[in-house]
Chain A
Amino acid sequence: MIAVIDYKAGNLTSVVKALRYLGADDVVVTQSPEEVLRADKIVLPGVGHFQSTQLLADLGLTQAVREAVVKGTPFLGICVGLQWLYQGSTEAPETAGLGHFAGECERFPAVFEGSELKSPHVGWNSLEEVRADSRLLKGVTPGSFVYFTHSWRAPVSEDTAAKTMYGGAFTSAAERGNVMGVQFHPEKSAETGLRVLRNFLEL
């Protein structure tokens, strides 16, 4: 069973649809910590404000995810779901992230290298320096395009599995063991996105 966690942050239809399209027939949209602990795989989607992840702690889901990943359940965070894997975000400083990855998410700079930088970062951008040992990005060629829409971004660190350039480099995919996340929307990123989701389903 694949648990897609619903924390009332945007639309889950597309993610669920993509997982089912790829053959996952047992996809459950849930807010239940028990279901998360029972799941074979966990997906945390989400668009919107970092503060909405506060609900995860309030519902006991943060603790459930912590326990599930310790016992080895593959976890995929998408967009805000990736950002939540870090210690926090300047978007909502009072809301703690899971802290699985070190660092804090920050807003894109308003000015980069002397020129104004538009934010949000919306559109198709490329994945660079794809880590060769990444299981999530297996078969994804550096330079492949994926679809982004976000104003905050995760820092580059040793857990970075791919970088993307916009106002400098940020983490577009992160991976350590069974815990993974993507800043882009794999469910909206054509063939490359489907490959990433398929890789995750095949773990």
Chain B
Amino acid sequence: MLTKRIIACLDVRGGRVVKGVQFVDIVDAGDPAELALRHARGGADEIVLLDITATHEGRGTLLETVKRAAAQLFVPFTVGGGIRSAEDAAAVFDAGADKVSINSSAIARPELIGEIGASFGAQAVIVAIDARRGKHGVADAEVYVSGGRKPTGLRVVEWAREAEQRGAGEILLTSMDKDGMRDGFDCELTRAVSEAVQIPVIASGGAGSAADFAEVFKAGKADAALAASIFHFGVTDSRALKAEVAAAGVAMRLPC
């Protein structure tokens, strides 16, 4: 039976994993390669490494980090942040990533989705969408870029559909409203997107408890869910979390 995935996300800046609450009070949380491996061994179904600085100068450091992390990683490995061209993506794949996640650059030039897919396959392209509910809630939820600071005028469901048509392999949907709150995912929004597309939808933003995961998988129809802040310092084992989600009636990869 196809299981729902729990994805561990590492925010990386300047070659180190950082943690903070809504990007303030950022502290060093360790070496990305070591933490990625520990998460994989701890039962995470997939690893995402997100370069939150994503400056041009930092690309070399990032690629080195990706290479070190990929060396011993035998679960799917996604890298996002600062990928603006098919060449940027190629460099990340060459360093050992299996998928790339693109966000602002896909909005700026939607052709990029198909360009990366043409060389590396649709399964290797995740389109990340940062979403905020509008006046009418989910119905007019809007896509934001630049770390959630700039509204684009695009409706979330419409952009998700377009991304799929252009060849995205998966959608990573982050609720800006829920991000960092740790009181549950935006299940209604996730469901709206999941029902609008055929490709898998990864829910992100708001993970707090096992019950939140169970809810986004069941009510939100998410295919996967991403968690960053739920994994505290030193906590890289997701087996207990997965067991609890499984007990709530969701198929999980266990034992793992």
Which residues of A pack against B, CB within 8 Å? 9-11, 13-14, 17-18, 21, 47-48, 118-126, 145, 147, 149-150, 165-166, 187-191, 193-194
Contact = CB atoms under 8 A, between A and B. Distances in A.
Interface of B: 1-5, 40, 45, 70-72, 74-76, 93-96, 98, 120-124, 169-170, 198-200, 223-224, 253, 256
- The 10 A-B pairs of least Cβ separation, nearest first, read A48-B121, A47-B121, A149-B123, A124-B253, A145-B253, A125-B2, A10-B121, A122-B200, A124-B3, A11-B93
Contact of A193 (B45, B74, B169, B224): B74
Nearest to A119: B198
B1 A126 contact: yes
B112 to A, nearest CB: 17
Contacts of B94: 13
Contacts of A118: 198-200, 223
A21 B37 CA distance: 14
Given A17-B71, A190-B75, A10 B120 contact: yes
B110 to A, nearest CB: 20
B126 to A, nearest CB: 11
B74 A189 contact: yes
Contacts of B256: 145, 190
B88 to A, nearest CB: 15
Contacts of B96: 13-14, 17
A123 B120 contact: no
A120 B169 contact: yes
A188 B169 contact: no
A195 to B, nearest CB: 11
Contacts of B123: 47, 120, 122, 149-150
Most A-side CB within 10 Å, residue of B4, B72, B120, B121: B121
A121 B120 contact: no
B2 A188 contact: no
Contacts of B76: 147, 188
Contacts of A119: 198
A188 B1 contact: no
10 contacts: A14-B70, A17-B70, A17-B96, A48-B121, A119-B198, A120-B123, A120-B199, A123-B223, A149-B123, A188-B75
A124 B120 contact: no
